[in-house]
Amino acid sequence: MGIDYRLTLAGDLPVEQVAQRALPDPAERPAGTPPLLGVDLDAGRGFAVSVRAGRDGYVEVTADHGEWLWKPKQYVSLAFHMDKQADPVWAVGGMLTIVHRVLHTGPEDATLVVNGDWLLLHRAGGTLVRHRASWWDNYGVGDMFTG
């Protein structure tokens, strides 16, 4: 069983544009028919990526101080499915590089969730807040997304 991470961006965004922001190398870019694109990067990055657009989103997860709920009217999500055979530190580091790129190439409100249960970060109104400091430290990325 692998681990799943989901980055959700609020807004009516073209999935092709989000895929290009996430993975600018055409050889790695998700392909398919909108509203769903996907690519298997298990061999090179340790995960597969899918990009999907939707409406009436619903994110209910546990945050540092209890339950956290977000309902974007329109959204695009990037789902990362980690290969259970991949080195988790390497795969998570690569996934976070993509998350960082996406967040720094657009202003959208966003969430990053692990296994549909735990909020790792959210951005609202331009303010980014990290959750679960022990998770970030466990992967050696405690300084990512700060400042």
pLDDT for 94 equals: 94
* DSSP class per residue in the chain: --EEEEEEEES---HHHHHHHH--STTT--EEETTEEEEEEHHHHSEEEEEEEEES--EEEEETTEEEEE--SEEEEEEEEE-TTS-HHHHHHHHHHHHHHHHHT----EEEEETTTEEEEEEETTEEEE--HHHHHHTT-TTTT--
pLDDT tens-digit series, residues 5-29: 999 999 999 999 999 999 999 999 9
pTM of the model: 0.95
Structural domains for the chain:
3-138 (3.30.310)
Q: Which ranges of the chain have pLDDT less than 50?
A: none
pLDDT for 143 equals: 80
